[in-house]
C-alpha cells in the first residue's frame, strides 16, 4: 500500500515516481532513515483519515453502548456495508481514470430484479449459475456505458446520467408492479447473508475477496498502474503509449460486473426486489469513494480506501442509532463527513505540493 500516489501531479509522473521509490528501498542503507521514510509514507496514506475516523467512531460508540459490538451488532454492520463496499470498489476504479459512473444504482436494480426473475423461471438453477448470469448481465450493462464513453468520446458524467434513466426505465418496464420476495428464492441463496464464518457473513467475505483482488491488481499490474496514469493526465498517458480507450472501456465493464455481483447479493440480502431497487444509490457510492480518499478528478486513491469509506458511511447510521442521536441528523452528518473528506484531501495535496516544490528546489 506504500505505492499510493499521494498527489495529483499535472505531469503524470507521480505514479511512476512513487512506484520507483518504493520498489528500491535497498538504495538507502541507513536503517533509521528507512524506518523514518516508512513512517512518513504511512502518514501520507490517503486512507489514513478515513480509517482513523472509522476507528474513533466505533470506539466512541462502543464506549457509550457496548451492545454496538455484540456479535449480532458486528454482523449487522458488516451486512449493511457489504453491497456498498462492492459498488464503491467499482466506482473507485472508474473515478481513478477521471470518469464517473452514475448508473450503478440502476444497474444494481436491473440485476437484482433479474436474479429474482431467474429463480422464478428456473428454480433449480445452481446458485453459482445465478451469480454468473448476474455478473454477465452487469458486464453487458457496463459495456454499453464503456462503449458510449470511449467510442463516442462523450464525458462519462453525461453518458451515465443518460443510462441511469434508461436502465431504471427498463427496470420499471420489466418489473411493472411485480416484486419478488425472499420466499421465491432457494433457501441456500438467502442463507448466504445469514450464515457466518468466523463471525463474517458469507456475502461480506465475498466483498472482502473482491476488495483484495482488485487492490492487488491495482498495485501490482501494469494495466492497474496505467489507470492512475490515465487519471493523472490523459494526454501524457496517451503519449506514453497507454491504450486509453481499451483501459477505460474495461474499467466500465469491470464496474458493471461488480454492480452485477452487488445486484445478486442484494437479492440474497434483502427480502424484496422490484422496480425501485437501488434507486438513488449512485450518489452514496460516489460519496463513499470520495470519503475514502479517491480524488474526484482521478489519478489518486485506492480501492481499499473506497471500501473503508463505504464501511464508514454505513456504520455512521448504526452508530448514531446506538448513540441515540435523533435519526433525522444522520444525513446531515454524512454530508458534513463528505465535505470534511474533501477538505482534508485538499490540505494534504497542498502540503505535498509544497514539499515537492521544496525538494525540487533543493535538487536543482
Partner 1 sequence: MSDTLTTAPAPTPDTSKTIAAVPKGRTGAARILLGRDAIMIYVLVAFVIYASIAIPRFASPVTVGFLLLDVIPVLLIALPMTLVIITGEIDLSVASIAGLTSALMGVLWAAGWDIGLVLLVSLLAGVLAGAFNGFLVAVVGLPSLAVTIGTLALFRGLALVVIGDNAVANFPPELTSFVTSKIGSTGIPTVMIGVVILALFFGVLLHMTPFGRGLYALGFSREAATFVGITVNRAKFWLYVGTGSVSALAGIYWTLRYSSARSDNASGLELTVIAAVLLGGVSIFGGKGSIPGVIAGVLLIGTINYALRLGRISDVVLIIVTGSLLIASVVAPSVFDALKRWQHDRRVRRSLPQAALGNQPTP
- Residues contributing to the site for partner 1 (CB under 8 A): 100, 102, 148, 152-155, 157-159, 161-170, 172-173, 176, 280, 283, 286-287, 290, 295-297, 326, 328-336, 338-339, 342-343, 346
Using an 8 Å Cβ cutoff, are 259 and 107 in contact?
yes
Cell of 222: 501494469
Work out the burial of residue 363: count CB atoms within 10 Å of its CB; fewer than 13 is exposed, 13-18 middle, 19 or more buried.
exposed
For the chain, what is the total number of helices (H) and then of strands (E)? 15, 2
In angstroms, the CA 363 to CA 130 distance is 58
Nearer to partner 1, 152 or 197 (CB): 152
- Cβ proximity to partner 1: between 59 and 350 the closer is 350
Query: Quick one: 105 or 224, whose CB is closer to partner 1?
Result: 105
* CB 107, min distance to partner 1, A: 13
Cβ closer to partner 1: 81 or 164? Answer: 164
Least separation in angstroms between residue 168's CB and partner 1 is: 6
Shortest distance, position 125 Cβ to partner 1, whole Å: 28
Q: How far is the CB of 70 from partner 1 (least distance, A)?
A: 28
Asked if 183 contacts 277 with a C-beta cutoff of 8 angstroms, the reply is: no
From the list 184, 188, 143, 193, the residue with the least C-alpha distance to 274 is 184
Residue 49 and residue 55: Cα distance in Å, rounded? 10
Could you tell me the smallest distance in angstroms from the CB atom of residue 310 to partner 1? 15
Return the number of other C-beta atoms located less than 10 Å from residue 155's C-beta.
12
Q: Least CB distance from residue 145 to partner 1, whole Å?
A: 10
* Pair 299, 311: CB distance under 8 Å: no
Q: For residues 162 and 190, which CB has a smaller minimum distance to partner 1 in the complex?
A: 162
* Closer of 265 and 311 to partner 1 (Cβ): 311
Copy the grid coordinates of residue 349. Answer: 495535496
Cβ of residue 152: shortest distance to partner 1, in angstroms?
4
| Residues of the chain by 3-state class (helix, strand, coil), percent to 5 | 75, 0, 25
If the CB atoms of residues 157 and 212 are measured against partner 1, the closer one turns out to be 157
Amino acid at each position: 500500500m506504500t505505492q499510493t500516489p499521494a498527489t495529483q501531479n499535472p505531469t503524470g509522473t507521480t505514479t511512476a515516481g512513487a512506484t520507483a521509490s518504493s520498489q528500491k528501498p535497498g538504495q538507502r542503507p541507513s536503517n533509521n532513515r528507512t524506518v523514518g521514510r516508512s513512517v512518513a509514507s504511512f502518514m501520507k496514506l490517503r486512507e489514513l483519515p478515513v480509517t482513523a475516523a472509522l476507528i474513533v467512531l466505533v470506539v466512541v460508540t462502543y464506549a457509550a453502548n457496548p451492545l454496538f459490538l455484540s456479535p449480532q451488532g458486528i454482523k449487522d454492520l458488516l451486512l449493511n456495508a457489504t453491497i456498498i463496499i462492492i459498488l464503491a470498489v467499482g466506482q473507485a476504479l472508474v473515478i481513478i481514470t477521471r470518469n464517473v459512473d452514475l448508473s450503478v444504482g440502476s444497474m444494481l436494480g436491473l440485476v437484482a430484479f433479474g436474479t429474482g426473475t431467474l429463480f422464478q423461471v428456473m428454480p433449480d438453477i445452481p446458485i453459482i449459475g445465478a451469480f454468473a448470469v448476474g455478473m454477465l448481465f452487469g458486464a453487458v450493462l457496463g459495456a454499453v456505458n464503456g462503449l458510449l464513453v470511449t467510442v463516442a468520446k462523450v464525458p462519462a458524467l453525461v453518458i451515465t446520467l443518460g443510462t441511469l434513466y434508461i436502465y431504471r426505465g427498463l427496470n420499471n418496464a420489466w418489473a411493472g408492479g411485480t416484486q419478488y420476495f425472499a420466499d421465491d428464492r432457494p433457501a441456500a441463496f438467502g442463507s448466504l447473508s445469514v450464515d457466518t464464518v468466523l463471525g463474517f457473513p458469507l456475502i461480506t467475505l465475498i466483498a472482502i475477496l473482491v476488495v483484495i483482488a482488485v487492490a492487488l491488481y491495482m498495485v501490482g499490474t501494469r494495466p492497474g498502474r496505467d489507470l492512475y496514469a490515465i487519471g493523472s493526465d490523459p494526454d501524457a498517458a496517451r503519449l506514453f503509449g497507454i491504450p486509453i480507450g481499451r483501459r477505460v472501456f474495461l474499467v466500465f465493464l469491470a464496474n458493471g460486473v461488480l454492480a452485477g455481483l452487488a445486484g445478486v447479493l442484494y437479492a440474497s440480502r434483502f427480502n424484496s426486489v422490484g422496480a425501485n431497487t437501488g434507486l438513488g444509490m449512485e450518489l452514496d457510492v460516489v460519496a463513499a469513494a470520495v470519503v475514502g480518499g479517491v480524488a474526484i478528478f482521478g489519478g489518486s486513491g485506492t480501492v481499499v480506501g473506497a471500501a473503508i469509506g463505504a464501511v464508514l458511511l454505513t456504520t455512521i447510521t448504526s452508530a448514531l442509532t446506538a448513540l441515540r442521536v435523533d435519526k433525522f441528523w444522520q444525513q446531515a452528518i454524512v454530508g458534513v463527513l463528505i465535505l470534511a473528506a474533501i477538505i482534508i484531501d485538499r490540505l494534504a495535496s497542498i502540503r505535498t505540493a509544497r514539499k515537492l516544490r521544496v525538494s525540487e528546489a533543493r535538487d536543482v
